[in-house]
Amino acid sequence: MQISKLFKEGRTGLSFEVFPPKKTSSLDSVYNALGELKELKPDFISVTYGAGGNITNTLTCDIASYIKNELGIESVAHLTCVNTTRENADIILKRLKENGIENILALRGDINPDIPPLKEFVYASDLAAYIKEKGGFYVSGACYPECHYECDNIDEDIKNLKKKTDAGVEHLISQLFFDNQVFYEFVEKARAQGITVPIEAGIMPVTNTKQIERMVSMCGASLPAKFVKVMQRFENNPEALRDAGIAYAIDQIIDLAANGVQGIHLYTMNNPYVAGKITEGVKNVIRTDE
């Protein structure tokens, strides 16, 4: 199924993201989590892929295949290109096709300062164009409401994003953010630049202190005063922090739905409890055509 076709006027889609375990021996715990996530009836589930380009690791494909073929839910396999040759991309595409996977989230991946990029694909748009040229897949891409960290300003980043959609990307998923206004301004600018594809809002429920620290150091998302206050107030009370993180995500999603966002992409962190609470809290405001 073509993911971009899910996004229709008057409907807010819902999708989930999961990541493969570090070890194959922990695969069962991911499959168990997926069994619970299935009950929440997402439109699709995407599966992350490492930026290292190790093609002997088949976990992303295995999990995406399980989601699609065992659970009967559409899946999206992430694929990075910073350390991938064309030859290896072909191997992965063949593997995905053999498993019936039709949707790929084409990404560059972060550049590891200790490993010089291969440069067979410089940008995600190069990978997207390559996949489209090969044929047989629908291609999604990433976008950054607060600007990608390597780019000087949001206008430049959106110009680059347009190159991505021109290369064949037909659906975008955003980096996480905590301030909805930032997302609305980003979408307006993207539309003004001629980017017409559906844009899903990436929502990360923050439910433990470790996540907050990582968030601040890594992704550079701005933290609204309301968010900081809640997190500081409950940082030493895990249950309260979890409740507060869930409530904040629900509040964000309701506001996004009220403002006509086309889709919510929930970074589940493989945690079906949190995803379940959030989905329950928004069940009457999203996917309203069902």
Residue numbers annotated as active site: 17
Helix axes 154-166, 124-134, angle to 10 degrees: 10
Q: Tell me how far, at minimum, the Cβ of 150 lies from ligand FAD, in Å.
A: 4
Q: What residues make contact with ligand FAD under the rule CB under 6 A? A: 48-51, 78, 80, 107-110, 123-125, 142, 148, 150-151, 157, 160, 163-164, 173, 175, 202
**Residue 16 DSSP class:** E
Q: How many CB atoms lie within 10 A of CB 102?
A: 17
SS3 annotation, 84-123: CCHHHHHHHHHHHHHCCCCEEEEECCCCCCCCCCCCCCCC
Q: Is residue 27 a contact partner of residue 21, using CB atoms and an 8 Å limit?
A: yes
Helix axes 180-192, 238-258, angle to 10 degrees: 30
Residue whose structure tokens are 């590891």:
112
Q: Is residue 245 a contact partner of residue 273, using CB atoms and an 8 Å limit?
A: no
Q: How many CB atoms lie within 10 A of CB 235?
A: 14
